[in-house]
C-alpha cells in the first residue's frame, strides 16, 4: 500500500456511489430495534420500484439522536426519518419519487444537530463501519500515511502537544505529554493500549465511536505507535459490547489485508499489530493498572502508582494508554493541524467533547460540542429539556466518579477545570439528567450500590468503606436514618476518598459528597421521616 | 548505590536508593503500622495502614511501596493518619466475624494488636455478620474465612517463597475470598506442599494449625525469615 493506491481506493469508492443514498443506522440502539430489517425492506422496495441503479442503501453507524431511532437519512435530500419501521420502507422509497412517507420526519435544523461540531463523530453515521473503503473515501488513513512518510516521531508528538488535546477518559492528562514520556522512556518493547472498557452508568460514547467508525481509532493508535516507538497494540474492550468487538475484528482484518496495519505499514519499516482483549465484566478493569493486569492474564486489580504505565506498564515495558475518544481525535489533528484543533474549545480545554445524553430529557443520544459549551445549551436547547413539562433538577456528569450539578449552575461551561470547581468532573462524557421527581438520596444510593458491587476488594477503604456508606444510605432512604448518620457519611466518604488505592476507590464517595453538597435537605427530610424520631411506637412497628 | 537522606517525623534518616520509606523508617526505629506487609514477600499497598503524608501533598502514599527520595519529608503519625487507621481497623472488624474470645489467635493476632495500639475498643460501623465458610479438609491446617482480612499474605508467600501458588483470590469486593487451587477444598489441593508457610504468614487466626484451641495458635514469622534469608544469601548451595 502506498499513497497512490490509497487515493485509488478513495476515488473508486466515491465513483461507485449512487446519486441517492439511504443511510440506515446500524449502531446498537437502532440495530436492535429492527435496524437490519429496515435496511432489507428498503432494499426490497428499491428492487420493486426498479430504482437500484440510482439509489443505494447503506448500513452506517450512529447518527446521534438515539431516542428517535431507528433512523434513516436520505442523501443528498437531507431528510431524516425517525422511528422508522420496516413497514415504512415502501413509502420512504415512494417519497423519493414525490410520494409521501409514513415515517416521522425529523427536524435537522433543531439545535441538537446545528450546535454540534463533529470531530470525533466526523464519520459517524456516514461511513459503513464494516467496509474500510468507505472510511478511506472520507480521507481515512491519510493522516497515518502523512505521519509515516513525512514526519519524524518527535514531530508527531510535538503536533499532538501543540494541539492541546487532553485525555478524554476523564482525568484530562495532557495527551502530548503522555506520548512524550513514553517516547522518551528507553525500552526495546513498547505498547500502545486503547482503553475501551467503558463502564460508567449512562456512558456510551466509546461504544458508539467503535460501532460507527472503528478505523478511526485504529488509525489513531497506529499514529501513536509510530510516535512512541511501539509495534504492538491492544484494545481492551468490554465483553458487554459484542457489536464493538465484531466490528473491531472486521476492521483490524481489513486494515491488515490492505497493509495499513501489521508488518510494513505503507511499505515502510514500521510494523504495528493490534490485538483485542475482551473484558470479563469488571468495572475496575477500566482503571489503567487493573486493565494492564487483565491484559497480562492476571487478576484485574489496580496497583499503586508510581511506577506509571509510561515508565513500567505491560510486562514492565513503557506503555501508552489512552481512551477511545482520545485516539479518535488524532487522525483529524494530523490532517487539519494542531492550530485548527486548538482554535476550538477554551483556554485550557481544547477541541470538542462527545457526550452521551441520558435520563430525563426529550432527546437522548450522542452529541459532540466544543469544550466550554454551557451545560444549559446542551441540556435545555440541544437535549430539549425535561420531557412532559417537567423541570430539570440536576445533571450528573462524569459517571460514577463525577458529581451532580444543580440546575442553578447550568451556566457552567463544560471544560475540565470548571466542572471540578463545582464538584463534578468531565469524566468520560456520560450525562444523566434528572428532573424534579428524582430523589437525590436515591441517586447516591444507586451509585453506591454500583460501587459496592464493582469494588475489586483489594484495599480496605473501598472494599469495606463503600459497604458501610451503602448501608447508611439504605437506612436513610428507607426512613430508618438517625441524627449523626450524615456526619458518619461524611467522615466515611472523606476516609475512602483519601485512603483508597486507585482512582475508582478515591472517587467512589463522590456521588454522596456531591449530593450532600447541594441537596443536604433531602437527606435531612429522609431522616426526619424516621418514625422512631417522632416517638410513635406503632409507626416504628409498622415500618419494621 | 547512592544514599538518600530524608526526614521522617522530623528526624533526619538516611536510606539506600531503592529502599522503601517503610524500610527506612524501620531501620531508624520509627514504627509505621502495617497489616498486609510481610518481610520477604512483595508489597501490595492494599491494607492502607501504612499510609503516610508527604511534604505539602494532600495525597497519602503507602510507605510499603513508596521509594525513598532525596529531601523527602514524611509524616507517619499525624492526627489525620491516626483517625484513618482507626477507621480502617474498625471497618475490618465489622466486615467479618472477628470474635477474639473464641479465636485460636487470641492474644497473638496482628489485627487485635493493631486495634489495641490504635485504641479501637469498638466499631462505630454496622457489623455485617456475613456467612463465611470454614475449610478443615486439609490434614494439618484449616482456614476460617470469618477471620480473614484479605491481606493476601498467604497468596504471596505461597507463590513467592514456596513457589506453589496454591492460594489465590476469588470473587470481588466484600465478597472476595482466598481459595486453594481452583476453589477446591484445601485437602484436595494437588499443588499444596503442606509446608505451612501460609499458616505462619497469616496475620490473624484465619489460617491455623489444627489442634490449637483458643489463644494457642502462635505464628512464628522467624521461620519464614529464615527461609527467605537462606535463599537470598544462597546458604543452601554448595
Answer yes or no: do B70 and B150 share one domain. no
Mutate to test the interface with B, among A463, A474, A501 (most CBs of B within 10 A): A463
Give the model's confidence band at A532: pLDDT under 50 very low, under 70 low, under 90 confident, else very high: confident
pLDDT at B237: 67
Answer yes or no: do B173 and B114 share one domain. yes
ipTM: 0.94
Give the model's confidence band at A327: pLDDT under 50 very low, under 70 low, under 90 confident, else very high: very high
Which residues of chain B make contact with A284, given a CB cutoff of 8 A?
172
Comparing CB atoms, the residue among A299, A452, A491 nearest residue B173 is A452
Give A440-528's CATH code, choosing from 1.10.1740.10, 3.40.50.300, 1.20.1440.230, 1.10.260.40.
Answer: 1.20.1440.230
Comparing CB atoms, the residue among A304, A467, A492 nearest residue B174 is A467
Tell me whether the CATH fold assigned to A15-112 matches the one assigned to A139-342: no
pLDDT at A469: 97
Give the model's confidence band at A44: pLDDT under 50 very low, under 70 low, under 90 confident, else very high: very high
For residue B232, the distance in angstroms to the closest alpha carbon of chain A comes to 23
Looking up residue B174, the CATH number of its domain turns out to be 3.30.70.20
- Among the ranges given (A18-27, A421-430, A480-489, B194-203), the one the predictor scored with the smallest mean pLDDT: A421-430
pLDDT at A150: 96
Instruction: Say if B163 falls within a structural domain.
Output: yes
pLDDT at A156: 97
Q: Give the rounded percent of residues in chain A with a pLDDT score beyond 90.
A: 88
pLDDT at A535: 66
Looking up residue B72, the CATH number of its domain turns out to be 3.10.20.740
Residue A459 sits at the chain B interface (C-beta within 8 Å) = yes
Confidence check: pLDDT of A539 > 70:
no
Answer yes or no: do B107 and B209 share one domain. yes
For residue B182, the distance in angstroms to the closest alpha carbon of chain A comes to 14
Residue A453 sits at the chain B interface (C-beta within 8 Å) = yes
- Among the ranges given (A31-35, A492-496, A497-501, B176-180), the one the predictor scored with the smallest mean pLDDT: A31-35
Q: What is the mean pLDDT for each group of 10 consecutive residues in chain B (238 residues)?
A: 92 96 97 95 96 94 96 96 97 96 95 96 94 96 97 96 95 96 96 94 96 87 82 74
- Inter-axis angle of helices A242-257 and A205-212, to 10 degrees? 40
Instruction: Flag if A460 and B171 touch (Cβ within 8 Å).
Output: no
Which residues of chain A make contact with B150, given a CB cutoff of 8 A?
457-458, 463
Return the CA Rg of chain A.
25
Confidence check: pLDDT of A516 > 80:
yes
pLDDT at A361: 95
- Helix then strand then coil, in percent of chain A rounded to 5, is 50, 15, 35
Stated pTM of the model: 0.94
Evaluated on CA atoms A461, B159, B114, B122, the torsion sign reads: positive
pLDDT at A401: 83
Instruction: Say if B226 falls within a structural domain.
Output: no
Q: Which CATH class is domain A15-112?
A: alpha beta
Instruction: Say if B92 falls within a structural domain.
Output: no
How would DSSP label each residue in B81-121?
HHHHHHHHHHHHHHHTT--GGG-TTTTS-HHHHHHHHHT--
Comparing CB atoms, the residue among A282, A461, A468 nearest residue B125 is A468
The separation between CA A108 and the C-alpha centre of its own chain, rounded to angstroms, equals 23
- Indicate the number of domains in chain B: 2
Which grid coordinates are listed for A122?
466526523
Comparing CB atoms, the residue among B87, B95, B169 nearest residue A495 is B87
Answer yes or no: do B125 and B34 share one domain. no
Which residues of chain B make contact with A463, given a CB cutoff of 8 A?
95, 150, 173-174, 176
Buried b (16+ CB within 10 A) or exposed e, B200-237: bbbbbbbbbbeeeeebebebeeeebeebbeeeeeeeee
Comparing CB atoms, the residue among A299, A452, A499 nearest residue B88 is A499
Instruction: Flag if A467 and B95 touch (Cβ within 8 Å).
Output: yes
For residue B47, the distance in angstroms to the closest alpha carbon of chain A comes to 5
Which residues of chain B make contact with A499, given a CB cutoff of 8 A?
48, 51, 60, 84, 88
Mutate to test the interface with B, among A449, A457, A482 (most CBs of B within 10 A): A457
Which residues of chain A make contact with B176, given a CB cutoff of 8 A?
456-457, 463
The separation between CA A217 and the C-alpha centre of its own chain, rounded to angstroms, equals 12
Return the CA Rg of chain B.
19
Topology (CATH level 3) of domain A139-342: Rossmann fold (3.40.50)
Which residues of chain A make contact with B126, given a CB cutoff of 8 A?
468, 471
Mutate to test the interface with B, among A475, A499, A501, A506 (most CBs of B within 10 A): A499
Q: Which architecture, in CATH terms, is A353-432?
A: Roll (3.10)
pLDDT at B221: 84
Instruction: Flag if B88 and A467 touch (Cβ within 8 Å).
Output: no
Instruction: Say if B86 falls within a structural domain.
Output: no
Mutate to test the interface with B, among A199, A281, A303, A304 (most CBs of B within 10 A): A304
Burial of B190 (0-12, 13-18, 19+ CB in 10 A): exposed
Residue A304 sits at the chain B interface (C-beta within 8 Å) = yes
- How much is the average pLDDT of A248-272? 96
A 235-294 residues inside an 8 A Cβ radius of B: 282, 284
Instruction: Render pLDDT for B20-49 as a digit per residue (tens, 0 to 9).
Output: 999 999 999 999 999 999 998 999 999 999
Answer yes or no: do B134 and B203 share one domain. yes
Domain that holds residue B142: 103-219
Instruction: Say if B139 falls within a structural domain.
Output: yes
Confidence check: pLDDT of A368 > 80:
yes
Q: Are A509 and A496 in contact (CB under 8 A)?
A: yes
Q: Whole-number mean pLDDT of chain A?
A: 94
Which residues of chain A make contact with B65, given a CB cutoff of 8 A?
304
Q: Which residue, among B32, B49, B47, B224, has the nearest Cα to B152 in the 3D structure? A: B47
pLDDT at A1: 86
Nearest-Cα residue of chain A relative to residue B46: A459
What ranges do the domains of chain A cover? 15-112, 139-342, 353-432, 440-528
Residue A298 sits at the chain B interface (C-beta within 8 Å) = no
Confidence check: pLDDT of A131 > 60:
yes
Instruction: Render pLDDT for A274-295 as a digit per residue (tens, 0 to 9).
Output: 999 999 999 999 999 999 999 9
Confidence check: pLDDT of A542 > 80:
no
* Chain B residues within 8 Å of chain A (Cβ atoms): 44-48, 51, 60-62, 65, 80, 83-84, 87-88, 91-92, 94-95, 124-126, 128, 149-150, 152, 168-169, 171-176
Amino acid at each position: 500500500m502506498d499513497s497512490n493506491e490509497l487515493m485509488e481506493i478513495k476515488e473508486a469508492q466515491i465513483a461507485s456511489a449512487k446519486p441517492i443514498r439511504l443511510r440506515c443506522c446500524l449502531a446498537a440502539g437502532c440495530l436492535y430495534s429492527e435496524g437490519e430489517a429496515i435496511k432489507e425492506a428498503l432494499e426490497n422496495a428499491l428492487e420493486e420500484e426498479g430504482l437500484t441503479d440510482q439509489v443505494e442503501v447503506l448500513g452506517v453507524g450512529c447518527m446521534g439522536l438515539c431516542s428517535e431511532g431507528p433512523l434513516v437519512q436520505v442523501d443528498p435530500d437531507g431528510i431524516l426519518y425517525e422511528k422508522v419501521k420496516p413497514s415504512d420502507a415502501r413509502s420512504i422509497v415512494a417519497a423519493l419519487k414525490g410520494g409521501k412517507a409514513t415515517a416521522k420526519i425529523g427536524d435537522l435544523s433543531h439545535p441538537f444537530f446545528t450546535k454540534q461540531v463533529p470531530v470525533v463523530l466526523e464519520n459517524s453515521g456516514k461511513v459503513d463501519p464494516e467496509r474500510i473503503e468507505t472510511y478511506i473515501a472520507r480521507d481515512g488513513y491519510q493522516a497515518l500515511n502523512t505521519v509515516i512518510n513525512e514526519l519524524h516521531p518527535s514531530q508527531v508528538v510535538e503536533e499532538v502537544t501543540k494541539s492541546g488535546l487532553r485525555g478524554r477518559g476523564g482525568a484530562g492528562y495532557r495527551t502530548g505529554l503522555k506520548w512524550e514520556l513514553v517516547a522518551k522512556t528507553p525500552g526495546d518493547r513498547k505498547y500502545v493500549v486503547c482503553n475501551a472498557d467503558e463502564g460508567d452508568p449512562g456512558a456510551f460514547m466509546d461504544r458508539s465511536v467503535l460501532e460507527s467508525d472503528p478505523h478511526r481509532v485504529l488509525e489513531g493508535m497506529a499514529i501513536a505507535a509510530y510516535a512512541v516507538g511501539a509495534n504492538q497494540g491492544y484494545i481492551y474492550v468490554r465483553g458487554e459490547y459484542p457489536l464493538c468487538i465484531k466490528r473491531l475484528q472486521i476492521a483490524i482484518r481489513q486494515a491488515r489485508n490492505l497493509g495499513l496495519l501489521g508488518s510494513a505499514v505503507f511499505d515502510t519499516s514500521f510494523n504495528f499489530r493490534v490485538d483485542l482483549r475482551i473484558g470479563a465484566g469488571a468495572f475496575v478493569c477500566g482503571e489503567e493498572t487493573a486493565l494492564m493486569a487483565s491484559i497480562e492474564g492476571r487478576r484485574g486489580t489496580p496497583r499503586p502508582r508510581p511506577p506509571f504505565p509510561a515508565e513500567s506498564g505491560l510486562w514492565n515495558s513503557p506503555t501508552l494508554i489512552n481512551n477511545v475518544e482520545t485516539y479518535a481525535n488524532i487522525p483529524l489533528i494530523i490532517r487539519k493541524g494542531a492550530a485548527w484543533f486548538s482554535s476550538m474549545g477554551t483556554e485550557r480545554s481544547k477541541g470538542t467533547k462527545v457526550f452521551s445524553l441520558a435520563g430525563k430529557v426529550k432527546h437522548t443520544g450522542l452529541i459532540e460540542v466544543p469544550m466550554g459549551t454551557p451545560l444549559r445549551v446542551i441540556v435545555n436547547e440541544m437535549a430539549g429539556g425535561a420531557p412532559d413539562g417537567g423541570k430539570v433538577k440536576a445533571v450528573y456528569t462524569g459517571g460514577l466518579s463525577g458529581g451532580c450539578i444543580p440546575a442553578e449552575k447550568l451556566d457552567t461551561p463544560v471544560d475540565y477545570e470548571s466542572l471540578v470547581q463545582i464538584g463534578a468532573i468531565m469524566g468520560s462524557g456520560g450525562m444523566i439528567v434528572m428532573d424534579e421527581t428524582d430523589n437525590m438520596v436515591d441517586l447516591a444510593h444507586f451509585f453506591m450500590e454500583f460501587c459496592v458491587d464493582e469494588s475489586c476488594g483489594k484495599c480496605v477503604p473501598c472494599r469495606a468503606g463503600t459497604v458501610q456508606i451503602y448501608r447508611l444510605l439504605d437506612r436513610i432512604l428507607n426512613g430508618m436514618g438517625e441524627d449523626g448518620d450524615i456526619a458518619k457519611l461524611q467522615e466515611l466518604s472523606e476516609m475512602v476518598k483519601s485512603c483508597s488505592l486507585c482512582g475508582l476507590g478515591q472517587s467512589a464517595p463522590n456521588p454522596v459528597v456531591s449530593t450532600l453538597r447541594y441537596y443536604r435537605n433531602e437527606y435531612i427530610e429522609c431522616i426526619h421521616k424516621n418514625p422512631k424520631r417522632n416517638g410513635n411506637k406503632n409507626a416504628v412497628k409498622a415500618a419494621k | 548505590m547512592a544514599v538518600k537522606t530524608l526526614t521522617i517525623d522530623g528526624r533526619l534518616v538516611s536510606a539506600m536508593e531503592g529502599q522503601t520509606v517503610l524500610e527506612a523508617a524501620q531501620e531508624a526505629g520509627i514504627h509505621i503500622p502495617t497489616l498486609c506487609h510481610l518481610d520477604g514477600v512483595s508489597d501490595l499497598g492494599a491494607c492502607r495502614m501504612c499510609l503516610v503524608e508527604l511534604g505539602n501533598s494532600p495525597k497519602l502514599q503507602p510507605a510499603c511501596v513508596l521509594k525513598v527520595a532525596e529531601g523527602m519529608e514524611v509524616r507517619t503519625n499525624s492526627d489525620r493518619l491516626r483517625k484513618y487507621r482507626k477507621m480502617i481497623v474498625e471497618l475490618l472488624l465489622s466486615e467479618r466475624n472477628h470474635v477474639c474470645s473464641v479465636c485460636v489467635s487470641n492474644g497473638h493476632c496482628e489485627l487485635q494488636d493493631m486495634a489495641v495500639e490504635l485504641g479501637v475498643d469498638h466499631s462505630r460501623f454496622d457489623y455485617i455478620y456475613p456467612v463465611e465458610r470454614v475449610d478443615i479438609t486439609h490434614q494439618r491446617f484449616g482456614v476460617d474465612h470469618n477471620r480473614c482480612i484479605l491481606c493476601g499474605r498467604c497468596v504471596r508467600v505461597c507463590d513467592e517463597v514456596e513457589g506453589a501458588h496454591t492460594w489465590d483470590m476469588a470473587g470481588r469486593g466484600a465478597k472476595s475470598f482466598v481459595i486453594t487451587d481452583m476453589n477446591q477444598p484445601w485437602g484436595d489441593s494437588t499443588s499444596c506442599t503442606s509446608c505451612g508457610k501460609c499458616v505462619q504468614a497469616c496475620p490473624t487466626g484465619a489460617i491455623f494449625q489444627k489442634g490449637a484451641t483458643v489463644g494457642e495458635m502462635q505464628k512464628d514469622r522467624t521461620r519464614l525469615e529464615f527461609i527467605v534469608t537462606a535463599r537470598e544469601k544462597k546458604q543452601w548451595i554448595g
